[in-house]
Amino acid sequence: MAPSTPPQSPPLALVTGGTRGIGLAIARRLAADGYRLAINGVREKASAADVLQELSWEGAPAVYCQGDIGCSAARQSILQELRSGLGPVSLLVNNAGVAPERRVDLLEMEENSFDRVLSVNLKGAFFLTQQIARDMITAVQGDPAFRACIINVSSVSATMASIARGEYCMSKAALSMATLLFATRLAPHGIPVYEIRPGITRTDMTAGVTERYDRLLQEGLCLQARWGEPDDCAKAVSALARGDFPYSTGQAICIDGGMTVPRL
């Protein structure tokens, strides 16, 4: 009698900023899709316990990797935890991001705000991707059946100017270029890289400007006159990770209700 083949572990997904908002919605979808989950955030582990328990109830064990991805030492700690027993990451979702603490005119932007936003939104995502991409290449070389994918959560602000949030816009524009760069570099290894660009989405980040966006939506800001919900983005990530767009590496998908459609 031939020996039985040991069961394969479910694929591992790392979702940065995965304890709330768009990141949590993505984690929920991926749990339902059968992924094991590593969730990153900056909060203390105890404050993420409910989220981890919820995601585990969905059928996939979840672990919490605490750390500010904008900090090199924290990134190394996250990577060490992933590599120490969780296995290679099959799916990286770069979702963690911060907005300026204060919205100020472009001519009044302070350097410390620029550094803070670019550190998390761009530098952290770039160098985390760099390290995990190396692990993905090694995994693919060791097992051609290993499937890997990287998805960056950018924003319509990558192409739409907002002079009260200049540092945020620049960070997202640069993240879009990072998507193109990694898609080009990793294509020979069969690792697709995608980007989603949320529009006006109901999260903690937009809570303070709800009234303003309610008015703009009523005035026709988007073709579909409603707020985006975090699960709108999660559905797109799920489809990309599943391989529903196998011939589209490097592409950006706008989840914005038609906000960025040019109109006369």
Residues recognised as catalytic:
168
Q: How far apart are CA 120 and CA 63, in angstroms?
A: 21
Q: Which of 51, 37, 45 is nearest to 91 (CA)?
A: 37
Which tokens sit at 151? 């998805």
Amino acid at 209: V
In this structure, the strands spanning 89-94 and 149-153 are parallel
Q: Report DSSP letters for 48-75, one per residue.
A: GHHHHHHHHHTTS-EEEEE--TTSHHHH
- Beta-bridge partners for 194: 151
Backbone angles phi, psi at 95, to 5 degrees: -110, -25
DSSP state of 104: -
Enclosing H/E stretch for 114: helix 111-118
